[in-house]
């Protein structure tokens, strides 16, 4: 039974980008880029891919990864991770999204530190730098407040997530929402990253809860946790990252490869 493990939820179908995890980038499926990245950035942590289809399982195992086949009917990645962790049996789980090919070792360490600090769940955010990204509904926003958890030795009190949304929050009322790059950089405008950590008991509680009303409206599974009264710790990272949600994102990632 590992203390901490990484479990990556993988779903074959995607509304905005059909079968994106199998989309070839320089001859390799996107998912294999994520496998290689995690093997490089977190070699000391057990790594598993919770997949919903044999095509994804075969994609992972072809490059030496470990895959756990899970129920394709799961409504969220967290539900899928909860099922997979009944096999892995880790006390704490780090969730890296299968479409985040630039996750860094520092981000994984930060999540591990956060989930060791008392909160049942943790995640990361990064400051927005452009109004275009801040206004883009595909870029999820998070607003933060100081955590109610006690500060740990040598570490300041954590932030906690108040809300996640696809809308631009905080909303610039005095500007009627018409923000520019300078306003975004000068204010607490944070992009949520698809990286999480959980205690195993929260995963099981999550899986037993029905999808929340806000979760269904925003299509953001982390809102189920907030709707049921659980705190989500959140810290900031400036490491570059990219979430591949569209074919244009895949092209952007390929350009970043040089």
Question: Quick one: how many helices (H) and strands (E) in the chain?
Answer: 10, 11
**Assigned CATH topology for domain 120-193+200-240:** Spore Coat Polysaccharide Biosynthesis Protein SpsA; Chain A (3.90.550)
Exposure string (b/e) for 135-163, b if CB count within 10 Å is 16 or more?
Answer: bbeebbbbbbeebeeeeeeeeeebbbbeb
Question: What per-residue confidence (pLDDT) applies to 148?
Answer: 64
Q: Residues in the chain with pLDDT < 50?
A: 154, 156
Q: Specify the pLDDT at position 16.
A: 83
CATH number for domain 1-103, candidates 1.10.1060.10, 3.90.550.10, 3.40.605.10, 3.20.20.240: 3.90.550.10
Residue extents of the structural domains in the chain: 1-103, 120-193+200-240
67: left (phi over 0), alpha (psi -120 to 50) or beta: beta
pLDDT at position 156: 46
The phi and psi torsions of 251 (rounded to 5 degrees) equal: -65, -40
1-103 against 120-193+200-240: fold identical: yes
């Amino acid at each position: 039974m590992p203390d901490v493990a990484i479990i990556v939820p993988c779903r074959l179908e995607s509304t905005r980008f059909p079968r994106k995890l199998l989309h070839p980038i320089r001859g390799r499926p996107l998912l294999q880029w994520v496998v290689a990245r995690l093997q490089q950035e977190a070699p000391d942590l057990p790594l598993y891919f919770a997949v919903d289809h044999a095509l994804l399982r075969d994609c992972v195992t072809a490059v030496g990864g470990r895959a756990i086949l899970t129920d394709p009917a799961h409504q969220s990645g967290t539900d899928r991770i909860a099922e997979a962790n009944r096999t892995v049996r880790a006390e704490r789980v780090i969730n890296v999204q299968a479409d985040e090919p630039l996750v860094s070792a520092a981000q994984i360490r930060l999540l591990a530190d956060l989930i060791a600090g008392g909160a049942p769940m943790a995640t990361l955010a990064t400051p927005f730098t452009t109004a275009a990204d801040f206004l883009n509904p595909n870029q999820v926003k998070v607003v933060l407040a100081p955590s109610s958890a006690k500060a740990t030795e040598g570490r300041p009190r954590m932030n906690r997530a108040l809300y996640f949304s696809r809308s631009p929050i905080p909303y610039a009322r005095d500007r009627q929402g018409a923000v520019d790059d300078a306003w975004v950089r000068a204010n607490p405008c944070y992009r949520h990253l698809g990286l999480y950590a959980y205690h195993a008991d929260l995963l099981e509680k999550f899986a037993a809860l029905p999808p929340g009303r806000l979760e269904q409206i925003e299509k953001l599974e982390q809102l189920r946790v907030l709707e049921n009264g659980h705190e989500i710790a959140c810290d900031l990272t400036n490491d570059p990252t990219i979430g591949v949600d569209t074919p244009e994102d895949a092209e952007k990632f390929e350009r970043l490869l040089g």
